[in-house]
Copies of this chain bind each other. A is one copy, B any other.
Amino acid sequence: MSARERLVESARELLWERGYVGVSPRAIQERAGAGQGSMYHHFSGKAELALEAVRRTAGQLRDTAEAELSGPGTARSRISAYLLREREVLRGCPVGRLTQDPEIVASPRLREPVEETFTWLRSRLAEVIAEGREEFPAGLDPVATATAIVAVLQGGYVLARAAGSAEPFDQAINGVLGLLGVAPAD
């Protein structure tokens, strides 16, 4: 792996763990096994390196979700597969995490991939719900429901980190699945 590549990967990990304000270029360089000169040769600074890291992480989240939501099966089964996928719950969501960072929210360039990820995810989920409308309780609004589902995931991470345990995350998922009329093992 090239030094450039190692820098981006280190930045991704550290942004996930500590956020933008909590990471220093030096820490990224150390984890990457690269020096100052190397980093500033490949990137103009912390912001540009973070931008590439954030874009890559956002793209990966999208690709994973797209694969799950576009697989075979009913709308219900695809949504519950998406919700029940194994996650490193206590690490939180690598994209959602960034929304708590003042510098990321304040920077249009850094916020853009984050916004785009959730906009895409909400509308993709809304499509799946709309496709399988008769599988769900009657009169349900696809966009509002999709947004609530994404929110449950993001909020589940928050509650899990607060508790130091994955238990509230699992309960939150059980809770929406129940409300969607999907039994625990469905």
A: residues with CB less than 8 A from B are 17-19, 21-22, 92, 95-102, 105, 111, 114-115, 117-119, 122, 137, 139-141, 143-156, 158-159, 161-164, 168, 171-176, 178-180
Chain A binding site: helix, strand, loop or mixed by DSSP? helix
Q: Please pick, from B18, B98, B159, B178, the residue contacting A151 in the complex, using a CB distance under 8 A.
A: B159
**19 additional A-B residue pairs with CB within 8 Å, beyond A118-B168, A147-B174:** A18-B21, A19-B101, A22-B22, A22-B102, A92-B100, A98-B162, A99-B162, A105-B161, A111-B164, A115-B163, A140-B178, A140-B179, A145-B178, A147-B172, A149-B175, A151-B155, A155-B158, A158-B158, A179-B179
Chain B residues, Cβ within 8 Å of A155: 96, 150-156, 158
Q: Are A119 and B175 in contact (CB under 8 A)?
A: no
Can you name 14 A-B pairs with beta carbons within 8 Å?
Answer: A95-B162, A96-B162, A99-B161, A100-B101, A137-B179, A139-B178, A141-B175, A147-B175, A148-B178, A151-B158, A151-B172, A151-B175, A152-B152, A179-B180
Tell me the complex Cα distance, A25–B94, Å: 28
Q: Are B174 and A141 in contact (CB under 8 A)?
A: yes
Tell me the complex Cα distance, A117–B156, Å: 15
